[in-house]
Structure 1
Amino acid sequence: MERGDLTKGWLRGPGFMPLAPDVYVAAHVPVDQVTMTRVAMLRHPEGTIAGTTAALFHGAIDAVVDVGRGGAPTEVLVPASGVRSPAGLRVRCADLPEDEVVEWPDGPDGAVLRLTSPARTMVEVARALPTVEAVVVGDALARRCGVTAADVVALADRHTGERGMARVRAAAALVHPGSDTPRRTRVRLGVLRARLPPPLVDVVVTRVEGGADVGALDLAWPERSCGVLVDRHPDLAWACAEELLAHGWEVASIGGQGEQPVDEVVEDLATFLARVDRRRWRDLPDMRGRFPRRPSAPKVFD
């Protein structure tokens, strides 16, 4: 504008759209979270993108959409207080240590975005969302970025006394990088909440002799020699299970290719495990007449 290429009149005309004070975009440009992230950096260059917005940049796109945050306001943490949040942005006050911030290249012109680190992103997500939704995003971050529960708990310990750290620890305890889709995360959490035996996740079964792979299962109970495939096409499920069945494993394909509600999937899985236990006499009491105790349910915040 100093050179006269644009005037205030042009910016206020139909060819441009205001996104924030003194920030405009061409009217034909779609306004998504990436655009609003750039707006946030223009308005708050000292700020840091956080929450589910940062999770999008870290690769957890499917998980963020699954928990209904794909169109949520862009979250920004700024060191100063009393900053107003324009439409499309959610600005909060937080003074972040440098090891909780990463820089993200934004285009060939050398511009960068400041994002919370994957572990700090998980902390912010778990503080804001119910535990199940937070774990859906956390599983994706663990799978994409290698963040571990220990990393998240360490940050929670660093910020002990701040709001929501109990929620953060509860979500971190349930994160597992092996759940490769949001729905499989939800099924795994449904199994734990139903107090069924905790499964191993993303298990590859190998032969005792030679070590060759026999098959892969989404959830498995090796002590029962059984497992399940979740949301697989029938032909693909049979291809995965055929050799496992031949080696004495019990295998079930559940989920109806993503069409069956998660609660019904868990009910079918409970029925499958009960049938396996009856066949293998796992429901008999031990020598002292006691039945095995059911696992405790995880702590979950709504």
Structure 2
Amino acid sequence: MQTRPHELTDVFRGSEARREGLVTAGQLRGPAFRRLFQDVYVPSGIPVTHELRCRGAALIVPEEAVLTGRSAATVLGVPLAKTHDPVEFVVPEKFRFGPIKGVHVRRTEITRKESRPWKRVRIARPARVVLDLVLRLSPRTHNWIRRLRIAVPDVDAFLRTGLVKRRKLAYALLRRRNRGIRLARSALALADPRAESLPESELRVVLSTGGLAPTPQYKIRRKRKVVARLDLALPEHQVAIEYDGRWHLKAEQIKHDHARRKRLKAEGWRFVIVDAELLAGPYQKLLDLVRSVMNYS
């Protein structure tokens, strides 16, 4: 049999390629190809992205499956899924298949109007994607606050793109009775597209659920001109809460942050600087720190 592996330039099912004489079983096991899922391969020279893995997974799930959650968000241009995160689908209750390693399937009600054709399956429309970003979180493995800390940043990021409006989302949630719909409504109430990063959104959720009401991207003006902008602020207390990610560790950024904060401190502002370790720790510790700065005189 003459094989033509050079004709395989995208994701493909190994069994179909073998049947058509494009590749042998030995070649599939060799260095020329990389396996993404059982019976799904891609030429080794093609970079693996989450979007590529979504296209690969679409080859082996039922045609009625709907790509959604962080996977659909990533395909739609909101990069919430990491490369090797599970590919997320929902399917109507009556369909049973799997399990498939690397694919997460949730069986629930979904109407045809909530999705559109994509590849050989379907992809959720933006309002449904946002709903599934929240409903994907199991109450058995996440408590209420932890679920909000995961869900709200995703919703913030999606709203920030303008792919869907808050009003449309609120209407979509209005008459639903899905399990977890109360969490979805709470997440939408806390969502704010002004947030500029996922950690910043999560920090705002911690503060808000702790009884504080920070303003995101607070602008400090002089004579109507914006002279500074704070990640989060409690203006009545002149307290700024800012998240410093890894890029703040660069020498030039450290110098810039120091000068900016020194200038604002001279005007009466006090700062709480939050890093990844503090944000990931007990939320009460973070709240106590902010309150101690608020009460300092």
Taking structure 2 as the reference length, what is the TM-score of the superposition?
A: 0.71
CA RMSD, Structure 1 to Structure 2 (Å): 3.4
Match status 1:125 vs 2:154: no
Say if 2:239 and 2:272, in contact at 8 Å, map to a contact too.
Answer: no
| Structure-to-structure mapping, 1:193-232, within 5 angstroms | 193-195=209-211, 197-207=212-222, 210-231=223-244, 232=248
Separation in 2, partners of 1:103, 1:237 = 47
| Structure-to-structure mapping, 1:172-191, within 5 angstroms | 172-191=188-207
The 10-residue stretch of structure 1 (170-179 or 35-44) with the greater mean CA deviation from structure 2:
35-44
In structure 2, the partner of 1:41 is 58
In structure 1, the partner of 2:9 is none
In structure 1, the partner of 2:170 is 153
Say if 2:149 and 2:206, in contact at 8 Å, map to a contact too.
Answer: no
252, 267, 276: which one pairs with 2:288? 267
Say if 2:127 and 2:172, in contact at 8 Å, map to a contact too.
Answer: yes
Q: Percent identity?
A: 25
| Structure-to-structure mapping, 1:1-302, within 5 angstroms | 5=4, 7-8=18-19, 10-13=23-26, 14-15=29-30, 23-26=40-43, 33-43=50-60, 44-61=62-79, 63-65=80-82, 71-78=84-91, 81-85=94-98, 86-93=100-107, 94-98=109-113, 100-101=114-115, 114-129=122-137, 130-145=147-162, 147-158=164-175, 160-195=176-211, 197-207=212-222, 210-231=223-244, 232=248, 234-246=254-266, 248-256=267-275, 258-262=276-280, 263=283, 264-275=285-296, 279=297
Secondary structure at 2:199 match in 1: helix
| Structure with higher RCO (Cα < 8 A, 6+ apart) | 1
Q: CA deviation at 1:272?
A: 1.0
Q: What whole-Å deviation, never above 9, does each CA across 1:51-108 have from its counterpart, x for those lacking one? A: 12112223443x545xxxx63321223458324133333344544343x33677xxxx
Secondary structure at 1:42 match in 2: coil
Q: What whole-Å deviation, never above 9, does each CA across 1:106-133 have from its counterpart, x for those lacking one? A: xxxxx69843233211211211222221
Q: Which ranges in structure 2 are unaligned for 5 or more consecutive residues?
A: 5-16, 138-146
Say if 1:58 and 1:141, in contact at 8 Å, map to a contact too.
Answer: no
Secondary structure at 2:191 match in 1: coil
Separation in 2, partners of 1:81, 1:22 = 25
In structure 1, the partner of 2:144 is none
Secondary structure at 1:87 match in 2: coil
Separation in 2, partners of 1:237, 1:40 = 44
The 10-residue stretch of structure 1 (12-21 or 125-134) with the greater mean CA deviation from structure 2:
12-21
Q: CA deviation at 1:40?
A: 3.3
Say if 1:60 and 1:137, in contact at 8 Å, map to a contact too.
Answer: no
Secondary structure at 1:260 match in 2: helix
Letter in 2 for 1:54: A
Using a 3 Å threshold, how does the CA distance of structure 1 residues 42 and 272 change in structure 2: closer, same or farther? same
Equivalenced residue count is 257
Say if 1:142 and 1:148, in contact at 8 Å, map to a contact too.
Answer: yes
Say if 1:48 and 1:76, in contact at 8 Å, map to a contact too.
Answer: yes
Letter in 1 for 2:150: E
Taking structure 1 as the reference length, what is the TM-score of the superposition?
A: 0.70
Using a 3 Å threshold, how does the CA distance of structure 1 residues 96 and 178 change in structure 2: closer, same or farther? same
Using a 3 Å threshold, how does the CA distance of structure 1 residues 271 and 113 change in structure 2: closer, same or farther? farther
